[in-house]
Structure 1
Amino acid sequence: MMSIQAELILEKVREQNPLVHNITNTVVTNFTANGLLALGASPVMAYAKEEVADMAKIAGAVVLNIGTLDERIVESMLIAGASANKHGVPVILDPVGAGATPYRTETAKMLAETLDIAVIRGNAAEVASLAGENWEIKGVDSGAVRAGDASSLSVKAAKQLNTVVVITGKTDFISDGERLFSCKNGHKLQTKVTGTGCLLSSVVGAFCAVEKEYVFAAAAAAAVYGCAAEAAVERLNRHEPGSFQIEFLNKLYNLEPKALRERMKLEEVLA
């Protein structure tokens, strides 16, 4: 059932070409834009406070990524998020590095508390910092985490923050506080390319733009993304991150429904 739903949502993205407004970090801008284009969405990177409200209200989704913070960016995020909330546009928050420094943590918490967030996508340590839990974090990467811990954290954080939470790792967990999905698709080469997590947040945005049941949209996005990564690796003669990055974009572009159905390891589990 979930494979069919994911296939249909992907098809909607490719047909509707939703505009995804990204206020993201400088490290991943190009990769994010190319990834969204390959998927079938339409990316825009607008940061100036003078235009973000207008851009957000015409977008299908707004993605706020705190990877490279400064005061101006935070101001633009608040303006864009408020405009998106006013016009019924889903807001996706990627709290990159939350928990690593007080500024990042406080900014992520402020955005989560001030805005109506449709989905929060992060690793276990980042999500834990928003939920007031103590987890190991180094820079913008989390330490090792057991699947059971991430599973329960996703449910707890979703309830506490009143949103859909996606915790990515070896197994991804997606919850709205009531329902819980696990996704075991993906490949370790994703951790060797900067911005794969950030791009996933934007892909979640594209899926939320066409599917208003955000927990299903987020779960489908994680599964499609992981399946594309697996298919990309199979195309490589050698497992190297540079080649993987290019082939991954190719697979986001041409992943077929049959391949998605055959690969998908997405299931609903007890919350």
Structure 2
Amino acid sequence: MGERASEGEAREWGATAWRILTAVRERSPLIQCITNYVSMDLMANTLLAAGASPAMLHCLQEIPDFTPHAQALCINVGTLSPDWIPSMKTAAELATRLGKPWVLDPVAASASEFRLRACLDLVQLKPVVLRGNASEILALSNASLGPSKGVDSSHRSVDAVEAAKSLAQGSGSVIAVSGAVDIITDGQRVVGVKNGVAMLQKITAAGCAVTALIAAFVAVDPLHALEATASALSIFGLAAEMGMDMARGPASLRIHLIDSLHGLDQAAVFSRVSITSMS
């Protein structure tokens, strides 16, 4: 009985992930990314490979004209500087006011007091989804400074489950914790995504890229942010698995991941998406 239920759950998640990916390909949502210098290229190419339309636009003067036309907004604080914060806040406030989903990636949230405060201020502006590694989610949940390993995580995603649930309940955001198993929670439900390869840790901005993909998935299914987030993480991880079959190292994996994401078909998604309920 349990095995059949598990197979049924797998089929349901496969169908959900395929439905959302197909919607992205058909509708090509415009995703505005206010992100860091390191990640712009990979984020834009990930969105294009998935079928979305990226706009790497962060100029404060352009936001009132441009942001209303975007279907979703992705904010990433990787190379944060004081000049960028007004753009981030203005775009987030405008997106929220217009009912457009936006996603926050709090890169290295606990690395400095300046960075932590900026991230906490952005959380107050109600991102629909917040995705980070375990260390970043723990830092935001605890709202205190602690030892950090830069943009890398010194904690496992499972270490942050309760912190993620608490942060979700307090912020109203869906929280995604990247790790060997990605954890996604809305404060009540918890699901795990097991797709992916360890070599992704050797590709700079891979986490940033999957956050952009989450924004695209949420853009086409904003009423089901948890399902869209889990599906995006699984699809990205699946593309990495398929790319790894052809890769010889991090550089070639980066290329093959983009190719695999572009070429993903229904059979691969239905048979290889690995998402399970954990609550």
How does the TM-score come out when normalised to structure 1?
A: 0.95
Deviation, structure 1 residue 133: 6.2
SS at match of 2:179: coil
Tell me what 2:177 maps to: 167
Output aligned runs, 1:1-271, within 5 Å: 1-113=12-124, 115-132=125-142, 136-145=147-156, 147=158, 149-212=159-222, 213-236=224-247, 238=248, 240-270=249-279
Q: Do 1:172 and 1:222's aligned partners in 2 also have CA atoms closer than 8 Å?
A: yes
State the AA in 2 paired with 1:245.
R
| Structure 1 counterpart SS, 2:176 | strand
- Residue 152 of structure 1 aligns with an amino acid whose one-letter code is E
| Structure 2 stretches lacking a partner, 5+ long | 1-11
Where structure 1 has 5 or more consecutive residues not aligned to the other structure, the ranges are: none
Instruction: Give the match for residue 9 of structure 2.
Output: none
Provide the C-alpha distance between the structure 2 equivalents of 1:252 and 1:53, rounded to a whole number of angstroms.
32
User: Match of 2:73, SS?
Assistant: strand
Equivalent residues, number? 266
Instruction: Single out whichever of 132-141 and 196-205 deviates more from structure 2.
Output: 132-141
Q: CA RMSD in A?
A: 1.3
Residue 84 of structure 2 aligns to a residue whose secondary structure is: helix
Aligned partners of 2:138 and 2:160 also within 8 Å: no
Counterpart Cα distance in 2 of 1:250 and 1:27? 21
Q: Which runs of 4+ in 1 moved over 6 A?
A: none
SS at match of 1:142: coil
- CA contact 2:157–2:180 (8 Å) conserved in 1: no
Superimposed CA distance per residue, residues 121-153 of structure 1 (whole angstroms, 9 cap, x where no aligned partner): 000111111111676521111114262x23323
Deviation per CA, 1:49-93: give whole Å up to 9, x if none. Answer: 111132211111100100011112100001111111111110100
- Sequence identity of aligned pairs in percent? 35
SS for the counterpart of 2:204 is: coil
1:14 aligned partner, one-letter code: R
Deviation at 1:47, TM superposition (A): 1.1
Q: Is the 8 A contact 1:136 1:143 kept in 2?
A: no
Query: Aligned partners of 2:127 and 2:157: how far apart in 1?
Result: 26
The answer to whether the Cα contact below 8 Å between 1:56 and 1:89 also exists between their aligned partners in 2 is no
Look up the SS of the partner of 1:69 in the other structure. Answer: coil
The answer as to whether partners of 1:56 and 1:81 remain within 8 angstroms in 2 is no
SS in 2 for 1:220: helix
- The one-letter amino acid paired with 2:262 is Y
- Structure 1 contact 136–142 (Cα < 8 Å) conserved: no
Report the AA paired with residue 202 of structure 1: A
1:56·1:80 contact (CA, 8 Å) conserved in 2?
A: yes
Cα distance in 1 between the residues matched to 2:19 and 2:157: 32
The farther-off stretch of 193-202 and 48-57 is 48-57
TM-score, normalization by structure 2? 0.92
Partner of 1:181, secondary structure, is strand
